[in-house]
Amino acid sequence: MSVDTGQRRRLEPDARREQILSVAVRLFGESGYAAVSTTDVARAAGVARGLVNHYFGTKKDLYLEVIRVMLTVPGPAIAALPDGDLRTRVDGIVSWYLDVVSRHSRSWLAAITAGGMAGDPDVDLVITQAIDGAADAVLTAVGRPSPGPALHAMARSYVGLAVSTAREWLQRGVLTRAQVHRLLAATLLTMVEQVFPDA
């Protein structure tokens, strides 16, 4: 979404909220939590600071929403995965994930590392919930939508691998996208075929 930083435009409430959130994602990704104020977000979004507070509450509440949106796999993304055999669906979810993290790499990296807020219980809770949601999304994508505790734990472990591998690519530059894709797709396929049945 393009952000109008000049003259203010009238937007529907949902569109205005998304515009503010989009600006916050960018600013927190570029500068981290401590360096960004709600005034900065309001200025960059071309709105009054009171409107940021109206939609999101405090700066911390806004930051929690940024983390949530950056780390949550939306239902429509799973619904839009290609039909086909397991290999096709695994390839689809890995491609989707790599597209998202590369498109928003700075913001995603800031979110996954808590952007200077690591250890904060509210931030940790949002990250934990996002990892749980990502595990659910992976299981749904591979046809295991109602897991028991062991299967869900295995899916959470896969999400941890996906996060670490993406960081090797985006932050450290050690792996290429193609290498990350092959690693994540092959690992998930192996887990589904050879490990998940034991759970």
Question: What residue spans define the domains of the chain?
Answer: 13-62, 72-198
Task: Residue 91: count other Cβ atoms within 10 Å of its Cβ.
Answer: 19
In this predicted structure, what is the pLDDT of residue 20?
94
| Res. 95: pLDDT tops 50 | yes
In this predicted structure, what is the pLDDT of residue 14?
79
* Secondary structure (3-state) at 32: coil
Side chain identity at residue 103, one-letter code: R
Look at domain 13-62 and name its CATH class: mainly alpha
| Res. 5: pLDDT tops 50 | no
In this predicted structure, what is the pLDDT of residue 1?
35
C-alpha distances in Å from residue 74, one per residue of 45, 68, 123, 146, 175? 24, 11, 19, 18, 26
C-alpha distances in Å from residue 119, one per residue of 28, 113, 125, 136? 18, 10, 10, 24
In this predicted structure, what is the pLDDT of residue 151?
95
Cα angle: 148, vertex 154, 158; to 5 degrees:
140
Q: Mean pLDDT across the stretch 101-110?
A: 89
Q: Mean pLDDT across the stretch 28-51?
A: 92
